[in-house]
Structure 1
Amino acid sequence: MTTPRDLLIVAMDMAPDRPVERGDLSLALAGAEVLDLLAAQAIRLDDDHLVPGYRPAIADRLLDEAAESLVREAPYESIGDWLWRRGNGLSAAYVAALEAEGQLTRQRRRGIPFRTGQMVLVDSPARRQATERWTSDEPLLAALAAAVGVRGRQGGDPPDVDDDAVETVLAAVNDALVELEAVRQRRAIEDAAFDNIWRGV
C-alpha cells in the first residue's frame, strides 16, 4: 500500500459522520504522492521545486501515473503547482481504484434494491495495514490526516516530522488547503450577494 491509499482509508474510516471535503482530500492525496516519490528517490526537492530523479518501477498504478506526470525540464514544477494540477479530481480516482480492487463497496439501502448507497470500506489486509499505521501514530500519515481535519485518538497535534523535505511538502499542503478554503469563502460571499440582488428585484 501507499501513503495516498492509507490516507484515503483513514479519512473514510475515522471520519464517517463528517466526510472530508473532496477538494481537501485531493490536495492531501497529491501531497502524499510527493512524499512517497521522495521516499522512493524518484524526486528530490530544489527549494520548493520537484526535480525528477531516476524512474523506479512502481507497482501502484496511480503512484506510477504521478511519477510519469512529473515535469522533467527546468525550472521544474513547484510543490504548490503540483498539488493543484495533480490534485484535480484525485480523490475520485483513488476511490475508483479502491472500488475496482474490491477494497470499497457500495452499501445498499434497505428496501431500495436498485439504488446504490454510500461507499464503505471492506475488511481487507489493506484496511488493516492503514489502521495499524494510523494507530501507531506514524508521523507522515498523522500529519496529512490532521491537515484535512482527521485527528488521532488523543486529539492532539500529530508527532513532529524530523525531515526538512517532508516538512516542506507538508507546509505546501497546508498552504494549499488554506487557499482552497479562502476560495470557498469568497464564493459563498459572492453567491450570497447574488441571492440578495435577486431578492431585491
Structure 2
Amino acid sequence: MTTPQDLFLVSLDVPGEPPVEQGDLSLALAGAELADLLGARALTLDGERIVPGPALATGDRMLDAAQAALKRQEPYETAEDWLWRRGEGLAAAYRDALDAEGQLSGKRQGLFRRAGRDAAADTPARRHAADRWWSREPVLAALAATLGIEADRPAQAPADEAVLTVVATVGDAVTELGAVRERRRIENAAFDNIWRAP
C-alpha cells in the first residue's frame, strides 16, 4: 500500500473535526504521491522545484500515473503547482481505485456496480492504513495533520528535508483553499442578502 492510499483511508476511518473537505484531501493526496516518489528516488526537490529522475515502475497504478504526469522539461514545476494540477479530482480517483479493488467495501466492484462505496470494511488496505496510523508513522501523520486529522499523541516529524518541504507546501495549499471557500461563502451570503432585501 502507498501513502496516498493510507491517507485516503485514514481520512475515512479516523474522525476529524470538521470532516475533511474533498478538495483538501485531493491536495494532500498529491503531496503524498510526491512523498512516495521522493522515497522511491523517482524525483528530487531543488528548492521547491520537482526534478524528475529516471522513470521507475512503482508497482502501483496511481503512483505510476503520478510519475508519468511529472513535467520533465526545465523550468521544472514547483511542488505547489503540482499539488493544484495533480490534485484536481484526485480524492475521487483514489476512492474509485480502492473501491474497484474491493478495499473499501471488502467486495470487488464491477464497472457498473457501486454499492456501499465508503462503507467501512475490514480489508487488508484498511488494516495497513490503521497500523501505520496507530504507529504514528511520521509522513502519514504529518500529511493527516494538514487535514486537521490529529493523532492522540504526537508523531515525530519526517526526517527527510524534501518531505518536510512537501508537507509544508500541502499545509499552505490547504489553508489557501480554505480561505477561497470562506471568501465564496461570504460572497454568496452577501448576494443572498441583496436579493432578500426589501
User: Considering the TM-score relative to the shorter chain, is it more than 0.5?
Assistant: yes
Larger RCO (CA within 8 A; separation ≥ 6): 2
Deviations 1:147-175 (A, max 9, x none): 10111123xx4422222111111110001
Asked if residue 35 in structure 1 is aligned to residue 35 in structure 2, the reply is yes
1:97-108 alignment runs, 5 A limit: 97-105=97-105
**In the alignment, structure 1 residue 176 sits paired with structure 2 residue 173:** yes
Secondary structure class of the residue paired with 1:45: strand
CA distance in structure 2 between the partners assigned to 1:158 and 1:37 by the alignment: 22
Contact in 2 for aligned 1:12/1:19 (Cα 8 Å):
no
Name the SS for the 2:118 alignment partner: strand
Q: Paired residue for 1:160?
A: 157
Between Structure 1 and Structure 2, the one with more strand by share is 1
Percent of pairs with identical residues: 57
Q: Write out per-residue CA displacement over residues 74-128 of structure 1, whole angstroms, 9 at most, x where no aligned residue.
A: 001000000000000000000000100001139xxxxxxxx96661232122211
The 3-state SS of whatever aligns with 2:32 is helix
CA RMSD of aligned residues (A): 1.8
CA contact (8 A) 1:103 1:121 kept: no
For structure 1, the 5+ residue unaligned runs are 107-114
The CA distance in 2 between the partners of 1:141 and 1:52, in whole Å, is 23
- Following superposition, which runs of at least 4 residues in structure 1 exceed 6 angstroms of deviation? none
SS at match of 1:159: coil
* TM-score normalised over the length of structure 2: 0.91
Aligned to 2:184: 187
Unmatched runs of 5 consecutive residues or more in structure 2: 107-113
Question: How many pairs align?
Answer: 191
